[in-house]
Amino acid sequence: MKLRKGGYVAPNPWAVRASYKPLPAVQSTPDDPELVAAYRAETERRMAILRAERAKLVDKRGKLKPTSKLTLAEREHLNSFGFTSEQVRAGLQ
């Protein structure tokens, strides 16, 4: 960036200031504490299963294989244990 005399930096003539409209306020309703606790427990249960399956994929030395070295079949196997928050929430209701 080139400074002009006196240390002044000229504004960029191509810069455009975007004017954003404020978003409307969203009224959210908090979930029941029992539902939140069940959601967290189910998520942790599924993550434990996924961690256990990932731990089974080791190389010849018995060390955990890096993700970049997994075969396509191993990746598909791990992806079968993947889940989204929508799936967990749908399973609880």
Residue 22 located in a structural domain? no
How many domains does the chain divide into?
1
Kindly state whether residue 54 falls inside one of the protein's structural domains. yes
6 in any annotated domain = no
Helix %, strand %, coil % of the chain (to 5):
50, 0, 50
Question: CA-CA distance, 53 to 69, in Å (whole number)?
Answer: 16
| Three-class SS state of 80 | coil
Question: Residue 67 domain-assigned?
Answer: yes
The reply to whether the predicted model has a pTM over 0.75 is no
Q: Tell me, what amino acid is at 53?
A: E
Give the model's pLDDT for residue 42: 95
Kindly state whether residue 26 falls inside one of the protein's structural domains: no
Q: Give a yes or no: residue 66 inside a domain.
A: yes
Q: Which domain holds residue 72?
A: 31-93
Q: What is the pLDDT of residue 23?
A: 83
Cα–Cα distance measured from residue 93 to residue 89, given in angstroms and rounded to the nearest whole number: 7
pLDDT recorded at residue 77: 94
Rounded distance between C-alpha atoms, residue 51 and residue 67, angstroms: 13
Average pLDDT, the chain: 85
Cβ-based neighbours of 89, under 8 Å, separated by 6 or more: 39
Give tens-digit pLDDT for 29-55. Answer: 888 999 999 999 999 999 999 999 999
Across the range 80-93, mean pLDDT stands at 91
